[in-house]
Structure 1
């Protein structure tokens, strides 16, 4: 705490001073003392009145400026600190800021900068507060983060802390966030305002029961927010095999867990590079040959979104990222799509439109075998996340016969689509099928038949839905 060297004189109990009434009537009070014998009670009264006022003014300077008031025979420092003290007192009464300071590099602030609003315009940075001991009680420091990344405000070393419901040595202000701190003496700054305060101490609202009641966040999620993974106008296009692709969407809903807090990301546009590891690339491991799940990821603290790829060749990729290699700070995610890659770890040429993935046509089987409710693997064309498939069916035969090929989800008739025709000798038939459901991952059920000869049956996949 700042100190004051200017002390009262003659202020003790029973001090040898004139009474106030005697001093008021003293002739010398008007004209001053003249030659003769000095009377100690009279002089002590004069000195006490002068010293008490000097000490009071000095204490005001010390309290408001946070600076020591030193009796070293000079006046320049005292006068400067008096001006600082007056400004500080005015601010505390009128609510005015002392000024605005723009910063873009790590800086240690001083007690004399109390009352300033600090505008941050840099990348990620750190601002260090002055020690609480050097700052007057009530000194205020305000921060606005207009930079491109998070801004950290930290205390100086030596036991100081910032209190916001709990004691912390630093706070992080997200992009476009604000924070206001005030010194309350001892070793403590208190958080008293700004958007960061609301993030640290969310408004507590009881459960809504009436039509005009405020809604709890958890109730609001159920009532208003879409489920995690909801995406509007999701697109991804790859013209030729490549390790990079751009994924865009008008809006995406991400979350940390199913049923938990959700966040809406608007105007989403990210480039993913599956040849790299980390945010914007793979979560871990070597290049992926098979299928890649692509997630939107989000850091609620910094309010920064990104994209992440996960090897989904042998798994059903969950709606929320379930691995252990999420980039630091990212806690919310949502599955966007699952797409194929080639042996070189590149995306195939493809198009994604919302939950539909369009791929170069893949032949699943081409055989003369007669099938009866047989399981057919479609893993060469679709990932385990696929819930339906579309493509082409073909039959050709050397002799005239009635032929049939059926695709469906089970051994019954769920989702059944059939190609049935009577062909003449050496004829062929090709037709499309759409949205045959996939009940067992990467598997459909097929049945083929003929009344004569040995036809060749073929099945192709050109798109799937997840």
Structure 2
């Protein structure tokens, strides 16, 4: 800080006092700039309706900080200094009332811009006494006895103005731009026929350089980097005050989200342009990371030109793949496969529209590779005579067909239910893929595929794990010999979802001493063949063998059947299937 030097016995000069004021002003300006920067900043100057309300507004006291010449004009005996600029403080100690009349045309509105700027103002004009060398006892009135008035103070003031926009059809009117040297602070909207201005008509102007509170409390409240989102889902927009004019590496910002995201998202800060917002793994957001009303924190990474979402209260958190034992894992790294269960069971003792599925644990998912949940103590009942959660997903159950049964889950309410779907002619996915999932249920797993009778009821059967034990059902009874593998439909015994079948092969011959053999295969190429044969049979005696085989083509296996003599009756029956 510069200081004026005065010596003992020296004749004091007016420049001694003038320079003292000037040096103090520069020192305060530099210290203020160190805290606030050099861009225009406003503290206070809030805009409120008059009381009682009228078509006027009041701008409350406050200060504006802005760059200006040290002195644009001579400061008494000190010359003007337009070479250097400093951050000056303009003060408004009293409220300022401004008029905002309504437009005269029906259906129109007008936007008024309240703008402010720093100004030097020479005030306190009076006629000063001057030393009269020719008659020291009689002072001159004004310099040289001229009687001229002179300013006695150079004040830093706030110039506050209202600038009217062009009236236009309501909702199409625009706000005028600030005049050169001015900053827009507030926008007042007035419609035709309006007689009073309320707080609802007053809004802070975009990018207004207004401190949200005094600097100490703004820092304490994190108010300088906290804002409210005004954008849309996946396209977030925030404005901080004072405005952020450039994104810098490592900048951390908070905002309150207006809407939840459901896919990749962007963030636009103070109109600087929409920038990608990625998760902690530096991958695009997928949905659910931001929730409506959640407080989101982001950091700008210049090297990837993206905001990284550090967290959003109530939202999911994206993490990088775990590589060490104590790392957080991604969902796709979590153990468990959709539909896998511990002690899953279901029993239908007699044909019925209802059944109860139980399991100690069950894995359900929102989609393959999606959100995964492990449910404990599963115990739900389905009634095919109803629709919605606990019944069919739509329509009536099929007659003499198959019903797929899903365990469905609502993670928000922890609600669980069973949901049936016609599986007669379709291969059902492991996660429900129909169009009738009850509201709020987002995860599911296929837990049973069950035959129905002619009345659309579940047939008498039992299930342990993913094996369904059904009444023995014949799928072949023929005397025709088949030397090569021949397709055999199992549609009357197993659903399209069946992946493994268990049953019986038998041959009954009318001739003594002949031999019969049969084989069953998963494919025409003899994959997974199971062989059954008997020699030197007695006439009229059936030979039987149990087989298990995988199903490659839905509801189809391949077989051979031969005898060395006489007439043989070949039979195949199904007693269980796995899905």
TM bracket (short chain): 0.5 to 0.7
Supply the distance in 2 between the matched residues of 1:384 and 1:167 (Cα, whole angstroms): 46
Counterpart for residue 394 of structure 1: 506
Distance 1:396 1:190, change over 3 A: closer
Matches within 5 A, 1:34-53: none
Shift of 1:305: 1.4
1:349-428 aligned within 5 A:
349-372=460-483, 373-400=485-512, 401-428=514-541
* Partner Cα separation in structure 1 for residue 381 and residue 578 of structure 2: 22
SS in 2 for 1:319: coil
Q: Which residue is 1:449 aligned to?
A: 562
SS where residue 553 of structure 2 aligns? coil
1:125 equivalent in structure 2: none
Deviation at 1:398, TM superposition (A): 1.1
Report the 3-state secondary structure (helix = DSSP H, G, I; strand = E; otherwise coil) of the residue aligned with 2:574: strand
Distance 2:423 2:495 in 1: 7
Residue aligning to 2:383: 273
Q: Say if 2:440 is the partner of 1:329.
A: yes
Alignment correspondent of 1:147: none
Distance 1:309-1:212 versus aligned 2 partners, 3 A rule: closer
Q: Contact 2:509–2:542 (CA<8 Å) still a contact in 1? A: no
Q: 2:366 aligns with which of 253, 256, 261?
A: 256
State the SS of the aligned residue for 1:279: coil
Q: What is the aligned partner in structure 1 of residue 397 from structure 2?
A: 287
Distance in 1 of aligned mates of 2:560 and 2:318: 61
In the TM superposition, structure 1's runs of 4+ consecutive aligned residues that sit over 6 Å from their partners are 189-192
In structure 2, relative to structure 1, the CA distance for the partners of 1:286 and 1:419 (3 Å cut) is: same
Q: Deviations over 1:186-242 (max 9, x none)?
A: xxx9778xxxx9872344544434x26532433xx42x3211111111100011000
Do residues 200 (structure 1) and 323 (structure 2) align? no
CA contact (8 A) 1:417 1:433 kept: no
RMSD over aligned CA atoms reads 3.0
Cα pair distance change 1:190/1:445, threshold 3 Å = closer
Return the alpha-carbon distance in structure 1 between the equivalents of residues 357 and 443 of structure 2: 18
- TM-score for the superposition, normalised by structure 2: 0.46
Question: Residue 500 of structure 2 contacts residue 548 of structure 2 at CA under 8 Å; is this kept in 1?
Answer: yes
1:233 counterpart = 2:343: yes
| Structure 1 residues 65-106: Cα deviation after superposition (integer angstroms, max 9, x where no partner) | xxxxxxxxxxxxxxxxxxxxxxxxxxxxxxxxxxxxxxxxxx
Secondary structure, in 3 states, of the residue corresponding to 1:385?
A: coil
After TM superposition, give the deviation of residue 331 of structure 1 in Å.
1.1
8 Å contact from structure 1 (residues 403, 451) kept in 2: yes
- Distance 1:228-1:452 versus aligned 2 partners, 3 A rule: same
Instruction: State the alpha-carbon separation in 1 of the partners of residues 545 and 394 from structure 2.
Output: 39
Deviation at 1:307, TM superposition (A): 0.9
Equivalent-residue separation in structure 1 for 2:349 and 2:321 (angstroms): 51
Q: Which has the higher contact order (CA 8 A, sep 6+)?
A: 1
Structure with greater proportional helix content: 1
The structure with the larger Rg is 2
Structure 1, unmatched stretches of 5+, are 2-12, 14-162, 170-188
TM-score, normalised to structure 1's length? 0.57
Which stretch shifts more, 421-430 or 318-327?
421-430
Q: 1:204 to 1:461 in 2, by over 3 A?
A: closer
Q: CA 1:190–1:371 in 2, change beyond 3 Å: closer, same or farther? A: closer
CA distance in 1, matches of 2:543, 2:382: 38
Residues 201 and 439 of structure 1: CA distance in aligned 2, closer, same or farther (over 3 Å):
closer
Partner of 2:575 in structure 1?
462
Q: Does the residue aligned with 1:215 lie in a helix, a strand or coil?
A: coil
Answer yes or no: is 1:435 the counterpart of 2:548: yes
Given that 2:469 and 2:577 are in contact with CA atoms closer than 8 Å, whether structure 1 keeps it comes out as: yes
**Contact preservation (8 Å) 2:294, 2:313:** no
1:335-346 paired onto structure 2 within 5 Å: 335-346=446-457
**Gap change, CA 1:395 and 1:164, over 3 Å in 2:** farther
Deviations 1:19-64 (A, max 9, x none): xxxxxxxxxxxxxxxxxxxxxxxxxxxxxxxxxxxxxxxxxxxxxx
Distance 1:413 1:353 in 2: 29
- How far apart in 2 are the matches of 1:398 and 1:323? 53
Partner of 1:315: 426
Aligned: 1:166 with 2:257: yes
Give the whole-Å Cα distance in 2 for the aligned partners of 1:312 and 1:206: 39
> Would the aligned equivalents of 1:409 and 1:445 in 2 still touch at CA under 8 Å?
yes
Aligned-partner Cα distance in 2 for 1:284–1:294: 13
Matched position secondary structure for 2:541: strand
Which structure: greater strand fraction? Answer: 2
